[in-house]
Structure 1
């Protein structure tokens, strides 16, 4: 029983080792194909860094649990694991806090919602309103072909009005409904004769140029934040599960560390 926690810690870290190799392999795969879009280049480094971190932690945990004389290494492992738990906890709380405000508004007679930038947290607004950040996001949206796929549907106005558009499709691929533009296709809209500026600057920003559309509209930035909010909620939920797992591993690691200290302090017991 004295070594039970050590064996369990080794088993848990073996699982983390396999996970780290999968994550690291995914990051390396991204790096080899990330030659066209900023989105792939953006994802590549964090994934590789996470894989390396998990790999180092799992190896340290395995060494500490299997080698009775590696108490110092096991102590460093527990310290690193504690810091990781603290960081994940802070990030999870932060993710829920900044993504709590903001929601799409229903449009009468439409199957989709529309989004306002001002409805989201100030911190998120500043991130997308930064010109450098938005240039990268805009490139991702264009390279992803989201609006091109929407335009390929070739729907009638009635079909389009009832479509369940994603936040990005609603905000970036069409003008706001309040602009009252005439529908030609999903991504082509005609301004009415004598059209002047309105209270909504997105009506002026809209362009039928398929490389422009509403990519620079406030509604597009709001759609990105709506999509980001959904993703962060999912990530935060997964983080909670991962946190519980890490806390279990940490608790088992503390027992293993205590066992190692007892083994080293009382050699006559071996």
Structure 2
């Protein structure tokens, strides 16, 4: 003890060694403290990725529900009776079955997204693109090219205006007694009251003469020609004015206005269906692309 006390050099060396050891220990303790700060950040990032993926998954599933509702509507809602003459009920069933396939494929890909993310995207895109193509055809986006697509406006117009098809269609309209029902509902109405009455496109085009003919109203299916109206005067609408007859078996069933009315009824239905197919296919395509990106991010970049 005395020797150490009398040796200041040894004491200073020991103090320096202790200081070095303490500094080393402090230096070694710093990295764990920094990594402990980074750990919550990594956990928060992983949690955020999972929340985003879960939200997109739920969104994709919810977007498929309107497709299921449209399937029920297509398979169980009865169309206009005379549509069967144009094979439209078969098309209605075919689209319903195809939409059921899209619904199942879409949700299967969502369920198996973690296992087949790339293959699943490819599989679901094929029916969605076909769905988009069919929808564009039904809204007449292709014009002349959609003439071959059953149910498209161009196809419907071509069939309705063909005499061989129209003969069957007008017989179907006549057998439905639509004009007789209109006459029964309009008994006792004055001309102004009848003019203010809202008629369906078929009632307006088939059961009464065109407005341009300026005939005098007697009842819903009987109209008297005005004295100033000449036949074959060359004005627009003369063809329908000449075609009109007060005979209940004839009326305006051969008028262009009658064909236009029938065409409007069925075209509106299929145009709305086409618009629905376009919107739903685009939304599902975007949703599945986002789900694919989020899944890849979760698997390779977010962990």
Match runs of 1:224-243 below 5 Å = 224-225=262-263, 238=276, 241-242=279-280
Pick from 100, 115, 131 the counterpart of residue 69 of structure 1: 115
Residue 56 in 1 paired to residue 101 in 2? yes
- Find the aligned partners of 2:270 and 2:72 in 1 and give their Cα distance: 23
Pick from 160, 176, 186 the counterpart of residue 220 of structure 2: 186
* 1:84-104 CA-partner distances (Å, limit 9, x unpaired): 335435654628x79xxxxxx
* Residue ranges of structure 1 left out of the alignment (5+ in a row): 99-120
Q: Which has the larger radius of gyration?
A: 2
Pick from 193, 204, 207 the counterpart of residue 170 of structure 1: 204
Alignment coverage as a number of residue pairs: 238
Deviation at 1:223, TM superposition (A): 3.2
Residue 153 in 1 paired to residue 186 in 2? yes
Residue 39 in 1 paired to residue 80 in 2? no
Equivalent residue number for residue 111 of structure 1? none
Match runs of 1:78-89 below 5 Å = 78-89=125-136
Q: Is the 8 A contact 1:124 1:225 kept in 2?
A: yes
* 1:62-87 CA-partner distances (Å, limit 9, x unpaired): 22222232342442112322343354
- Find the aligned partners of 2:52 and 2:106 in 1 and give their Cα distance: 12
- Find the aligned partners of 1:122 and 1:80 in 2 and give their Cα distance: 24
Equivalent residue number for residue 112 of structure 1? none
Counterpart of 2:245 in 1: which secondary structure?
Answer: coil
- Find the aligned partners of 2:264 and 2:245 in 1 and give their Cα distance: 22
Residues 132 and 9 of structure 1, relative CA distance in 2, 3 Å threshold: farther
Deviation at 1:219, TM superposition (A): 2.0
- Find the aligned partners of 1:38 and 1:125 in 2 and give their Cα distance: 15
* 1:240-266 CA-partner distances (Å, limit 9, x unpaired): 653553343233243256469x57xx9
TM norm structure 2? 0.58
Residues 70 and 209 of structure 1, relative CA distance in 2, 3 Å threshold: farther
1 or 2, which has the higher helix percentage? 2
CA RMSD of aligned residues (A): 4.4
Pick from 166, 170, 173 the counterpart of residue 134 of structure 1: 166
- Find the aligned partners of 2:242 and 2:52 in 1 and give their Cα distance: 66
